[in-house]
């Protein structure tokens, strides 16, 4: 680790660190990393692609991370020309700026190609957040190693896969595990939303991408209506990640919004803690619900074209999709994917948690065990791994 004020750049100028974060979650990860790197290198310069959190942490943002937030094979194909132009212009600008290290945060389809070219040009490269090599073709680990000098992994099962392919990978822990209390304050969260402890509360999180909201929120709301038939006092909280998500949610709700559905700006963590059950899209939100110690139902649909391509090409290699089930290595929460993601099936799975408090209690020790494994002061661990790479030859 470098001492404060030390400049490892061979030119003697302040250290230059470039980062590209691909979406809101990458913006959050990057902000924590930049804050920790600043402690180690107080006069370092940071530039690249980020959102409001990275800018607040001191990143000179050449582009906003929302420009990269595209998911799914069909969606990527539609945006491919624009993304390729953006990557080419970034590559040229980075070569001119000549950073001492480039850190690609998630967004592997965009970042790994950029990292590979920068590595070939003699720039150190780090990929922060391993792609899901445990789910999609393990052999990609070797290809990732041709792009990244070091891979920073959020989950403990990932580094051994890279090691089998001769790639330097470090488990740094997950920042979300650091941000959630081991014993969340449900009463305090409910008080902040003016809810009493006896009210049945369902949190609905259809994702942070506009396509996800359009595909998933209508069926999630239909499921909530079915649940309300059994629980007339049910309150439904729907957090919106940002203004664009709020607009998309408002459009789905329409003018006839049910009186028991409340739209919340941000505060997804608090919404989960306040809830009895969480109905959510597969992804990071499932990990957040687990860290909030809440029973959940995971539902997901991708576009029909993307799904057909995935099935036709045999790309998916696992039969568990949500992170709680992957980390537990057993099905501890229900997953209803694609054709199974219907209002009736989702509602039945939600009601199971409401009707069986013993099942909810069984989840808690499993959740706590995983939480403890992931809690590693991740931003500091990631900064140490970057500083160590910079100090090397």
Query: pLDDT digits over 175-196, tens only?
Result: 999 999 999 999 999 999 999 9
Stronger pLDDT, 305 or 222, i.e. the higher one: 222
CA 113 distance to own-chain centroid = 21
Q: How far apart are CA 212 and CA 18, in angstroms?
A: 30
Q: What is the mean pLDDT of residues 129-142?
A: 80
What is the residue-averaged pLDDT of the chain?
A: 90
Question: Does residue 132 share a domain with residue 239?
Answer: no
Q: What are the pLDDT digits (tens) for 352-378?
A: 999 999 999 999 999 999 999 999 999
Nearest to 172 by CA among 393, 387, 363, 381: 381
Question: Does residue 156 share a domain with residue 65?
Answer: yes
Q: How far apart are the two ends of the chain, measured CA to CA in Å?
A: 14
The answer to whether 209 touches 71, Cβ cutoff 8 Å, is: yes
48 backbone dihedrals φ, ψ, rounded to 5°: 145, -135
Q: Does 335 fall in a domain?
A: yes
Question: Does residue 94 share a domain with residue 64?
Answer: yes
Q: How far apart are CA 5 and CA 11, in angstroms?
A: 15
User: By residue range, what is the domain housing residue 211?
Assistant: 179-374
Band (64; pLDDT cuts 50, 70, 90): confident
Question: Does residue 318 share a domain with residue 386?
Answer: no
Q: Does 46 fall in a domain?
A: yes
Question: Does residue 246 share a domain with residue 369?
Answer: yes
Q: Does 264 fall in a domain?
A: yes
Q: Does 261 fall in a domain?
A: yes
Q: Does 296 fall in a domain?
A: yes
Band (2; pLDDT cuts 50, 70, 90): very low
Question: Does residue 63 share a domain with residue 52?
Answer: yes
Band (284; pLDDT cuts 50, 70, 90): confident
Q: How far apart are CA 170 and CA 93, in angstroms?
A: 29
Q: How far apart are CA 283 and CA 296, in angstroms?
A: 12
Question: Does residue 74 share a domain with residue 199?
Answer: no
Question: Does residue 111 share a domain with residue 158?
Answer: yes
Q: What are the pLDDT digits (tens) for 10-53?
A: 667 899 999 999 877 889 899 999 999 999 999 999 999 999 99
Record the tokens describing residue 151, joined without a space.
């891979």
Provide the pLDDT for residue 226. Answer: 97
Selection from 21-35, 165-179, 327-341 with the highest mean pLDDT: 165-179
Question: Does residue 133 share a domain with residue 160?
Answer: yes
Q: How far apart are CA 24 and CA 241, in angstroms?
A: 9
Provide the pLDDT for residue 393. Answer: 80
| Structural Rg of the chain based on CA atoms | 21
**List of residues 6+ apart from 380 with CB closer than 8 A:** 36
Question: Does residue 86 share a domain with residue 124?
Answer: yes
Record the tokens describing residue 168, joined without a space.
């330097």
Residue 330 pLDDT > 70, yes or no?
yes
Question: Does residue 265 share a domain with residue 136?
Answer: no
Q: How far apart are CA 9 and CA 138, in angstroms?
A: 35
Q: Which of 216-225, 247-256, 359-368 has the lowest mean pLDDT?
A: 247-256
Q: Domain count of the chain?
A: 2
The domain spanning residue 129 has which CATH number? 3.40.50.2000
The answer to whether 143 touches 44, Cβ cutoff 8 Å, is: no
SS3 for 259? Answer: coil
Q: Does 78 fall in a domain?
A: yes
Q: How far apart are CA 59 and CA 231, in angstroms?
A: 48
Question: Does residue 160 share a domain with residue 269?
Answer: no
Please give the C-alpha separations between residue 239 and each of 179, 251, 262, in angstroms, as whole numbers: 18, 14, 8
Q: How far apart are CA 5 and CA 323, in angstroms?
A: 40
**List of residues 6+ apart from 339 with CB closer than 8 A:** none
10 Å Cβ neighbour count for 362? 12
Q: Does 280 fall in a domain?
A: yes
361 backbone dihedrals φ, ψ, rounded to 5°: -65, -35
The answer to whether 50 touches 27, Cβ cutoff 8 Å, is: yes
Q: Does 310 fall in a domain?
A: yes
The answer to whether 275 touches 202, Cβ cutoff 8 Å, is: yes
């Amino acid at each position: 680790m470098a001492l404060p004020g030390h400049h490892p750049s061979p030119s003697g100028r302040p250290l230059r660190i470039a980062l590209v974060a691909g979406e809101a979650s990458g913006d959050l990860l990057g902000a924590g990393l930049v804050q920790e790197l600043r402690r180690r290198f107080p006069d370092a310069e940071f530039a690249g692609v980020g959102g409001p959190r990275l800018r607040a942490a001191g990143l000179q943002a050449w582009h906003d991370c929302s420009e990269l937030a595209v998911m799914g094979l069909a969606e990527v194909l539609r945006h491919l020309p624009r993304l390729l132009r953006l990557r080419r212009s970034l590559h040229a600008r980075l070569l001119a700026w000549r950073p001492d290290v480039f850190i690609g945060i998630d967004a592997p389809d965009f970042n790994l190609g950029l990292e590979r070219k920068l590595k070939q040009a003699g720039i150190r490269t780090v990929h922060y957040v391993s792609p899901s090599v445990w789910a999609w073709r393990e052999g990609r680990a070797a290809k990732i190693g041709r792009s990244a000098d070091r891979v920073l992994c959020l989950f403990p099962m990932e580094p051994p896969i890279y090691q089998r392919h001769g790639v330097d990978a470090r488990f740094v822990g997950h920042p979300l595990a650091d941000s959630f209390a081991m014993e969340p304050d449900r009463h305090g969260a409910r008080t902040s939303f003016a809810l009493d402890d006896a009210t049945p509360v369902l949190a609905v999180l259809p994702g942070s991408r506009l396509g996800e909201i359009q595909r998933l929120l209508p069926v999630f709301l239909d499921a909530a209506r079915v649940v309300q038939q059994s629980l007339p006092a049910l309150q439904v909280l729907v957090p919106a990640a940002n203004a664009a998500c709020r607009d998309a949610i408002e459009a789905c709700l329409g003018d006839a919004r049910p009186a028991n559905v409340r739209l919340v700006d941000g505060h997804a963590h608090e919404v989960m803690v306040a809830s009895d059950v969480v109905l959510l899209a597969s992804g990071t939100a499932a990990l957040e619900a687990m860290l909030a110690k809440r029973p959940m139902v995971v539902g997901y649909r991708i576009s029909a074209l993307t799904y057909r391509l995935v099935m036709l090409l045999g790309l998916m290699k696992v039969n568990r999709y949500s992170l709680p089930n992957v980390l537990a290595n057993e099905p501890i929460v229900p997953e209803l994917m694609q054709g199974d993601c219907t209002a009736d099936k989702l509602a039945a799975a939600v009601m199971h948690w409401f009707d069986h408090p013993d099942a909810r209690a069984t989840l808690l020790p499993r959740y706590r065990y995983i939480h403890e494994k992931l809690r590693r002061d991740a931003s500091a661990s990631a900064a140490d791994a970057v500083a160590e790479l910079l100090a090397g030859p």
